[in-house]
Amino acid sequence: MSIKLGITAQSEITVDIGNTAINIGSGSLPVFSTPSLVALMENAAVKCLDGCFDKTLTTVGIALNIEHTKASAVGEKIIAKATLVNISGRELLFNVEACDTKGMIGKGLHKRFVIDIEKFMDKLK
- The edge-to-edge listing of strands for the beta sheet with 8-14 is 8-14, 77-88, 91-100, 103-116, 57-68
pLDDT digits (tens, 9 = 90+) for 53-94: 999 999 999 999 999 999 999 999 999 999 999 999 999 999
Q: pTM to 2 decimals?
A: 0.94
**Domain ranges in the chain?**
8-122
Superfamily of domain 8-122: Hotdog Thioesterase (3.10.129.10)
At 88, give phi and psi (nearest 5°): -130, 95
